Amino acid sequence: MKTGKRYAELVKLVDRSTLYDPTEAAKLVVETGKAKFDETVELHVKLGVDSRHADQQVRGAVVLPHGTGRTKTVLVLAKGPKADEAKAAGAEFVGDDDMIAKIEKENWFDFDVIIATPDMMGKLGKLGKVLGPKGLMPNPKAGTVTMDVTKAVNEVKAGKIEYRLDKSNIIHCPVGKVSFGAEKIEENVKTLMEAIIKAKPAAAKGQYIKSCSIATTMGPGIKVNSTKFA
């Protein structure tokens, strides 16, 4: 199979037993991004916490200095002047009860992020089972429940990403495109890693960063020496 052969060639470039310095890892991830499209580069971080416990959750948001290479579509749930503010800031969709009803009745999801003013959260709560699993429920920690809708929209447009643990205690996040080049990818990775380290819960015991790797959409994983970010 053609893909198998290509992947096998890329695997030869990566030493699985090596923990690469962040600079080397960024260079290598660009070298392995050989698909016919501009591959996304993802960071995968396994943490020494237990996501089943509320006091060991790791979640937050950070603006990547070079963005993700993808413009996000924003839905703002707000009323009156705050709705006008959201439109002026460049949100693609703005509304209140009408937008909530559209999601509920039409199963509408033509957006990447929801930003809501606090007064809208009571009504949005009934959609928790639909929005939660998709990672779309607004959250104060992520800065998506706020009265400052202008700042929130601007940050999302500038490359703000949300990071959160999955059930395997791993954080997966996009950190750019292969076309960014090694330097910009490294700076994005460093910014995200510093945010994750800063978000360490007080209840976390033992080794916090268990492993850290970066990979392109179609490429092999490259292990990164996480002690370089501490």
Whole-number pLDDT of residue 3: 58
Reply yes or no on whether the pLDDT at 131 is more than 70.
yes
Number of H helices, E strands in the chain: 8, 9
Element (H, E) at 213: strand 209-216
13: number of Cβ within 10 Å = 13
For the ranges 8-17, 28-37, 100-109, 159-168, the lowest mean pLDDT is seen at 8-17
Contacts of 103 (CB under 8 A, 6+ apart): 109, 127, 130, 131
206-225 pLDDT, tens per residue? 999 999 999 999 899 999 99
152, 143 in Cβ contact below 8 A? Answer: yes
135 Rama sector, left if φ>0, alpha if ψ -120 to 50, beta otherwise: left
What value does the mean pLDDT take over residues 164-186? 95
pTM for the model stands at 0.84
**Which pLDDT band, with edges at 50, 70 and 90, does 2 fall under?**
very low
Coil, strand or helix: which one is 144?
A: coil
Whole-number pLDDT of residue 78: 97
Owner of token pair 């923990």: 19
Q: Is the dihedral of CA 191, 197, 201, 202 positive or negative?
A: negative
Whole-number pLDDT of residue 1: 35
Q: What percent of the chain has pLDDT over 70?
A: 98
Give the C-alpha distances (Å, rounded to integers) separating 122 from 4, 55, 74, 152, 169: 50, 24, 20, 20, 29
Kindly state the tokens that stand for 199.
Answer: 């978000």
Reply yes or no on whether the pLDDT at 142 is more than 90.
no
Mean pLDDT of all residues belonging to the chain: 93
28-84 pLDDT, tens per residue? 999 998 888 999 999 999 999 998 999 999 989 999 999 999 889 999 999 999 999
Reply yes or no on whether the pLDDT at 230 is more than 90.
no
For the chain, the C-alpha Rg in angstroms (whole number) is: 19
84-119 pLDDT, tens per residue? 999 999 999 999 999 999 999 999 999 999 999 999
Q: What percent of the chain has pLDDT over 90?
A: 79
